[in-house]
A and B are shown apart, each in its own frame.
Chain A
Amino acid sequence: MIYDKLKATGRLTYAVYDSSGALKLQGASPNQVKVQAANQYRSLQVGLPYTDSSISTIWYMGLIRGDNYTTTSIYDRYDTNVSTHPGWSEVSSNTLISTLRPQWYRAPASNATIAGSTVSWTSVATNVNFSVAGILVMTENTVNKTIHQLVTFPGFLYATGIFTAIVTLTPGDTLEVDYEAYLGSA
């Protein structure tokens, strides 16, 4: 177990249910941890908080739009100081029942893994179909709100995860996602 370099990785599993609760589809895919997150790990190890404040205690997930998705990058960021994710944008809140990103509750780390609660989104029943390419994991809860002051909002984009195929949600559908983050030599 000699590590030349530790790798921050992860996995997501997802399922879509219709309004009657019937399973429509399910899948699993790896995630892509961002360079910013790797930086955070290294800062933590030497006792430095990220930027100039403590890490948020709260984590959320958002949805990546499927209609204009092209790619993700390990250099993606989602804050105003350096907000860059040219290959994707987020699903806006008007297609979802909730205007906030749902919270992801994490269990204590075990076996070099952090897992947590199942996160779900339900499409607005009166809206049209929309497509989802994947998810994002970050420390800010308002959909499409960028983190404009790092001092005030010490959050950052940890990872994105892209589904194996674009998922189309019809009115009343519920998308459920489970996410696990790993740290190791994988």
Chain B
Amino acid sequence: MSGFEVTVYRLDGTIEKYQAPNQVLLGGLNLWLDSMFRAQNFAFLYKGLISATSLTSLSSSDTMSSHPGWYEVPSYYSWSYTNSAGDLALQPYRAEYGYNGGGELRSGTNTLGDFVDFTRREYISAPYACRIGGLFLSTSRTITSTQGTLFATARFLGNEAVNLNVGDILEARYITDVEAV
């Protein structure tokens, strides 16, 4: 599957797993191509939470400034670097995805540039209970900001809603693949 694999670690020790298939949007595809062929720096991507409340649909025409079928969870925290020394702390930002992000880099490219496997896990928690319908990737770090490029959206399988209670930790692993044909 290409998309998000989510694990929720509850305070009581239970662990729940969810999947949210990926939908890469046109802005994301154009960003990717420009990075490849026009040396545009690929902006860092950030993982955000889609609220299950009022979530009706994700659209292929959604953008950061216009996504009428959903809105973002208004407040949450993610593990991010706090300084150049690499210290990590919970911060009120979308979770940074990528090489410089606060998550765990599972693998990467070898010295010849051969792809091995990128599977990053970012960690998110919330200051109060919320219900999550899915996740998104954006080039903007600020929660509820409508700036930047909406790279991808993903809704939990079966339109499931996931409760994130105070103290729970949500681990979001994003996987995407590009096939050469």
A interface, CB within 8 angstroms of B: 1-9, 32-48, 50-51, 54-57, 59, 74, 81-82, 106, 108-114, 116, 150, 156, 158, 181, 183-184
Contacts and interface: CB of A to CB of B under 8 A. Distances in A.
Which 8 pairs, one residue from A and one from B, show the smallest C-beta to C-beta distance? A47-B98, A39-B115, A109-B33, A109-B30, A112-B29, A57-B39, A47-B99, A38-B180
Contact of B29 (A32, A48, A57, A184): A184
Given A46-B99, A55-B36, 9 more contacts: A1-B23, A6-B178, A32-B180, A39-B113, A45-B176, A109-B37, A112-B30, A183-B29, A183-B33
B23 to A, nearest CB: 6
B113 A3 contact: no
Contact of A42 (B22, B30, B118): B118
A48 B30 contact: no
B109 A51 contact: yes
Contacts of B21: 2, 4
Contacts, number: 147
B109 A43 contact: yes
Contacts of A6: 2, 24, 29, 176-179
B64 interface: no
B26 A106 contact: no
B178 A183 contact: yes
Nearest to A113: B33
A112 B26 contact: yes
A41 B34 CA distance: 11
A69 B131 CA distance: 59
20 contacts: A3-B2, A6-B24, A32-B181, A38-B180, A39-B109, A39-B114, A39-B115, A40-B113, A42-B118, A42-B177, A45-B32, A47-B42, A47-B101, A48-B99, A55-B36, A56-B39, A106-B38, A109-B29, A110-B30, A183-B32
Interface centre among A38, A59, A112 (most CB of B within 10 A): A112
A27 B49 CA distance: 48
B17 to A, nearest CB: 19
B2 A4 contact: yes
Given A156-B113, A181-B33, A47 B44 contact: yes
Contacts of B177: 5-6, 42
Contacts of B85: none
